[in-house]
Amino acid sequence: MEMSGGAAAVAASKSKHDSPTIENRRARHEYHILDTLECGIVLIGSEVKSVRAGAISLGEGFVLIEGDPPQLRLHQVHIAPYDPAGVTAHDPTRPRTLLAHRREILRLARQVDAKGMTLVPLKLYFKNGFAKIVVGVARGKAEHDKRHDIAKREAQRDIDRAMSRRRQ
């Protein structure tokens, strides 16, 4: 069986250890992202398997700075149970610890102290075998900002469509 050139290139570049990048597109719609930080995330074995399979939802998630010394904790992120784990399966929505340097955590804490600011998970991926999560300092968008973004995106889509028809 022969593949077309494009499909062969994609199949060749994909290895068995490649994992999906899970993005929180809802966060980009709901918030203005002002600053980001890449953190490690503490996962147990069955959670790693589920994340590699792409069975994770970042949409409802948020990050809190808790404790003394301060730690970042990821809340309300759903990682589906890994069926072959059996009785050792994990709790799907348990709070998870994020790994960052203390000075980075304190910098985020200063930014979040401002009114209307929050920490939201933006993206989860694997880098050199370690799970990484990008956390963003965000301010909620007003309804008119969301409508403006949608209108701008649709206008760009119309322009792209017109340009592609013109090239044909």
Q: Can you tell me whether residue 162 is helix, strand or coil?
A: helix
The reply to whether 153 falls in a domain is no
The reply to whether 6 falls in a domain is no
Q: Is the pLDDT confidence value at 75 over 90?
A: yes
Domain count, the chain: 1
The reply to whether 35 falls in a domain is yes
| CA atoms of 68 and 45, how far apart (whole Å) | 27
Residue 161 corresponds to which tokens in the numbers above? 């469509």
The reply to whether 165 falls in a domain is no
Helix (H) or strand (E) holding 57: strand 56-57
> Residue 53 sits in which domain range?
18-141
- pLDDT for residue 6: 38
Note if the pTM is more than 0.85. Answer: no
The reply to whether 34 falls in a domain is yes
Convert the pLDDT of each residue in 26-71 to its tens digit. 888 888 899 999 999 998 888 888 888 888 888 888 999 998 889 9
Query: Residue written as tokens 């490690």?
Result: 40
Residue 135's closest CA among 64, 76, 55?
A: 64
| CATH at residue 37 | 2.40.280.10
Dihedral angle at the C-alpha atoms of 83, 87, 91, 97, nearest 10 degrees?
-100
